[in-house]
Chain A
Amino acid sequence: MALSLLYDDEVLERLERLELPFNRLGVDPYGVTKRHLALAFSLTKGLYRNYFGVSVQGAGNVPARGRAMLIGNHSGGVAIDGLMVILSMFWELDPPRLAQGMVEKFLNRVAFASLFSNRTGQFTGLPEHCVRLLEDERLLMVFPEGARGTAKLYRERHSLVNFGTGFLRLALKARAPIVPFAFLGGGEAFPTVWNSQTLGRLVGAPYVPITAYLAPIPLPVSMEVYYGEPLRFPGDGDEDDPVIQAWVDQVKDRIRDMIAEGCRRRGVTPALGDGGGR
């Protein structure tokens, strides 16, 4: 097929080392295909390496194999942060791993977005998906801020909005370690000044972020991802809400610290406390 002309050799070499149970047709049990991964990683390589020049620290904190949950902050008005985290797991780990995000519900209703997200292992954020993928020893990527997190405006870019607690219960039930990460630069790359719900309704999304320069194109800003040491909590997911909430706060504090650390390194002032957008 003509699309294979776009495949990057380095991508193909790394794909061979990806530890997913592909069948003879190059499809894994979730419908992730080598074809779509090859295309996705080839097309985004330049974005990751040059346009954003993503720098990654602490990738070694992510388990080389077996179940784990990447938990971090949303940064930037569209899911560029998620994409860059997936790319960092593919490019920086040896062997590479496929991070599988828990996607907003609307995406699966949108033509092509549905197709491409499904073929690359990015499924709707349902608890059933979360549990099954962890039990299958996959690497999950969850942004507990959800759509409220991508709705952060430019001035709120270093803040954290409310974390859901579902992810922690599911991690405890599956006995999966939580790898906290801080993402920096998405807010600068995509400086949202306003979120339009009217436009959102038109395209079937919760909202459409509007930048200061109107065009929904991210700026070439350097991005950073910091992966922290895995966190484990002594529970089985059946604890009362206050207990779970306290552990969620610990995860959130850890991420806030890592964001502050990153800000210092970038020479910017982090926002203290929780931001708006709730």
Chain B
Amino acid sequence: MKVLIPGISGVIGRIVARDLLEHGHEVIGIDRRPWEAAPKSVEMHDTDIRKRAAEEVFRRVRPDAVVHLATVTHLVAATEERYRINLGGTRAVFEHARTYGVKQCLFVGRHTYYGAGPDTPLYHSEEDPPMAVTTFPELADLVAADLYATTALWRAPQLTTCVLRMTYTLGPTGHGTLSTFLRGRRVPGVLGFDPLFQYMHEEDAASAIVLALEEGLRGVFNVAGPSPVPLSLLVEAAGRRFVPLPEALLLRLFGRFGLPRLPPGALSHIKYPVVIDDKLFRQATGFAPRVDETQCITEFLEAFPPRA
């Protein structure tokens, strides 16, 4: 099938593209970021998904399926820009998909949608509300994009819409929110708290996306890898030092002394866990992660040893 991937140049996009080619599909990419080593058979378009040129790609190529990977987090873009990319971009993808007869549209969202807080249940099912908007306002645009994509299920019944809420990734690419958090030699925590972190290997994340596409999955699904691990254990296994600091102090230290710059809402995500139940996805697709929790950390550590 002909698959269009907005956001193809990201780490997950590249692996998904490679997997799709291996499975005999045709791949077309849209991204403003370059992918120099892109396989010859991938048709690349250097444009913004919200621009007319992107619509032109839909009109000319008439893809069978779209894998929408062009969303960003607070680590990458400032608030206003993020809203334009995440919400505006998602809207453009679904509108073009409807207009140009796309059969299947897959939105890749994030598990942080559910938010972290003291009163939230440990395992979130797909029906749980998006508490992230209250605990971590910087995630509101991603929550909105996720919910917007979900409305396509009833707004565009002829389109097979699938929303995947995926955990953090961890592996040799060092890409993503969790890997960025773990990069430094010391990793901060909140004193007296040690939340569970759920992550999966990049290759497994890509496999899950390809699987959802090939199975023609419809609906909203949580996608997770191995079982979650406490932050302190994860940090130690990654060869870093876990430095738990009192909450009030930590808030002042963000962005200084080599600590990552994080908005205050991020604190709830290193105090309390966001853990998802992926039972539905496993049942629907037979998905099973190939890389376990320890191997993910080992591969990250080998690629990014802590600097002396």
Contacts and interface: CB of A to CB of B under 8 A. Distances in A.
Interface of A: 23-25, 27-31, 33, 105, 108-115, 118-119, 123-124, 126, 128-129, 132
A5 B266 CA distance: 36
Q: How large is the interface on B (under 10, 10 to 19, 20 to 34, 35 or more residues)?
A: 20 to 34
A155 to B, nearest CB: 34
A114 B294 contact: no
B230 A33 contact: yes
A25 B123 contact: no
Interface of B: 118-119, 121-123, 190-194, 196, 226-230, 233, 237, 247, 272-273, 277, 292-294
A173 to B, nearest CB: 15
Nearest to B230: A31
Contact of B192 (A29, A33, A112): A112
A125 to B, nearest CB: 10
A30 B192 contact: no
Contact of A111 (B121, B192, B229, B293): B192
A168 B286 CA distance: 35
Contacts, number: 68
Contact of A23 (B123, B194, B292): B292
Given A25-B294, A105-B118, A119 B191 contact: no
A28 to B, nearest CB: 8
Given A29-B228, A111-B190, 7 more contacts: A23-B292, A108-B119, A111-B247, A114-B193, A118-B194, A119-B230, A126-B121
A110 B118 CA distance: 9
Contacts of A30: 122
A25 B294 CA distance: 8
Nearest to A30: B122
Contacts of B227: 23, 27-29
12 contacts: A23-B292, A25-B233, A27-B230, A28-B227, A30-B122, A31-B229, A109-B118, A114-B193, A115-B192, A115-B193, A128-B122, A128-B123
A124 B118 contact: yes
A129 B121 contact: yes
Contact of B196 (A31, A108, A113): A31
